Amino acid sequence: MPEPTKKDETENESAPPPPEQNAPQESGNEKGKDVVIREMTSSSDEDDTSVSTPPADGMSKPAERKDSVWSLGEGAPEESEKRDDAQRSTLFVEKPQSGTVSVGGNITFIAKVEAKDLLRKPNVKWFKGKWMDLASKAGKHLQLKESFERHTKIHTFEMQIIKAKENYAGNYRCEVSYKDKFDSCSFDLEVTESSQAAPSIDIRSAFKRSGEGQEDAGELDFSGLLKRREVKQQEEEPEVDVWDLLKNANPSEYEKIAFQYGITDLRGMLKRLKRMRREVKKSAAFAKGLDPAYQVDKGGKVRFMVELADPTVELKWYKNGQEIRPSAKYIFEHKGNQRILFINNCTMTDDARYYVTAGDEKCSTELFVRDPPILVTKGLEDTSTYVGERVELSCEVSEDDANVKWFRNGVELSNDPKSRYRIKVEGKKHTLVIEEAAKNDTATYSVMTTGGQSEAKLSVDLRPLKISLALEDQTVRLGQEIHLKCEISENVEGKWYKNGQLIEASDRVKLYHKGRIHRFVIPVSAVDDEGEYMFVPDAYNINIPCKVHIVDPPKLHLDGLGENNTVTVVAGNKLRLEIPITGEPPPKVFWSRGDKMVTDSGRIRAESYPDSSCLVIDAAEREDSGPFRITLKNEAGEDTALINIKVVDVPDPPQAPNVTEVGEDWCIMTWEPPANDGGSPILGYFIERKKKQSSRWMRLNFELCKETTFEPKKMIEGVAYEVRVFAVNAIGMSKPSMPSKSFVPLAVTSPPTLLAVDSVTDTSVTMKWRPPDQIGAAGLDGYVVEYCFEGTDEWIVANPELTDKTKFTINGLPTGSKILVRVKAVNAAGESEPKYHPQPILVKEVIEPPKIRLPRHLKQTYTRRVGETVNLVIPFQGKPRAKVSWEKNGSPIDKNDINIRNTEQDTIIFIRKAERGHSGEYDMKVEVENLVDKATIDIQIVDRPGPPEVVTIEDVWGENVNLSWKPPKDDGNAAITGYTIQKADKKSMEWFTVIEHYHRTSATINELVIGNEYYFRVFAENMCGLSEDATMTKESALIAKDGKVYKYPVYDDFDFSERPLFTQPLVNTFAVAGYNATLNCSVRGNPKPKITWMKNKVLIMNDPRYRMFSNQGVCTLEIRKPSPYDGGTYTCRAVNELGEAEVDCKLEVRVIYHGVINPGEPLSLAGDNQLHSKDF
- Closest C-alpha to 662, from 745, 785, 768: 745
In DSSP terms, 568 is beta-bridged to 646
Q: What is the pLDDT of residue 6?
A: 34
Low-confidence ranges of the chain (pLDDT < 70): 1-89, 130, 194-244, 246-248, 250-252, 254-256, 258-281, 584, 1042-1048, 1153-1176
Cα–Cα distances in Å, from 271 out to 41, 75, 240, 541, 1051?
Answer: 9, 10, 21, 65, 101
C-alpha to C-alpha distance for 485 and 483, rounded to whole angstroms: 7
C-alpha to C-alpha distance for 433 and 456, rounded to whole angstroms: 14
Q: What is the pLDDT of residue 571?
A: 84
Burial 119-129 (b: 16+ CB within 10 A, else e): eeebebbbbbb
| C-alpha triplet 42, 43, 45: angle, nearest 5° | 130
Q: Own/partner pairs for 58-66, CB < 8 Å, 24+ apart?
A: 59/83, 60/130, 60/131, 62/131, 62/133, 65/131
Torsion of CA 970, 972, 974, 975, to 10 degrees: -40
Rounded percentage of the chain residues whose pLDDT exceeds 90: 36
Q: What is the pLDDT of residue 1153?
A: 61
At 271 the three-state DSSP class reads helix
Q: What is the pLDDT of residue 287?
A: 85
As to burial, measured by CB atoms within 10 angstroms (0-12 exposed, 13-18 middle, 19+ buried), residue 698 is exposed
Cβ partners under 8 Å of residue 1050, min gap 6: none
- Is the omega angle on the peptide bond into residue 585 within 30 degrees of 0, that is, cis? yes
CB 452 within 8 A of CB 524: no
DSSP state letters, 988-1052: T--EEEEEEEE-SSEEEE--PPTT-EEEEEEEEEETTEE-SS-EE-SS-EE-PPSSPPP-----P
State how far Cα 359 lies from the chain centre. 50
C-alpha to C-alpha distance for 383 and 389, rounded to whole angstroms: 12
- Closest C-alpha to 850, from 879, 875, 886, 887: 879
C-alpha to C-alpha distance for 1069 and 1144, rounded to whole angstroms: 11
DSSP state letters, 803-851: B-SSEEEE-SPPTT-EEEEEEEEEETTEE---EE-SS-EE--PPPEEEE
Four-residue CA torsion sign, 1008, 1012, 1013, 1017: negative
Instruction: Give the 3-state secondary structure percentages of the chain, helix then strand then coil, rounded to 5.
Output: 10, 45, 45
CB 433 within 8 A of CB 421: yes
As to burial, measured by CB atoms within 10 angstroms (0-12 exposed, 13-18 middle, 19+ buried), residue 1022 is buried
C-alpha to C-alpha distance for 586 and 475, rounded to whole angstroms: 18
CB 317 within 8 A of CB 356: yes
C-alpha to C-alpha distance for 724 and 658, rounded to whole angstroms: 10
At 334 the three-state DSSP class reads strand
Cβ partners under 8 Å of residue 622, min gap 6: 571, 647, 649, 678, 679
Q: Tell me the pTM.
A: 0.30
CB 639 within 8 A of CB 556: yes
Residue type present at position 361: E
CB 1015 within 8 A of CB 1025: no
* Helix/strand number for the chain, H first, E second: 5, 87
C-alpha to C-alpha distance for 527 and 541, rounded to whole angstroms: 31
- Closest C-alpha to 264, from 2, 69, 425, 40: 69
Side-chain half-sphere CA neighbours of 175 within 13 A? 26
Q: What is the pLDDT of residue 1014?
A: 93
DSSP state at residue 211? -
Four-residue CA torsion sign, 1064, 1065, 1067, 1072: positive
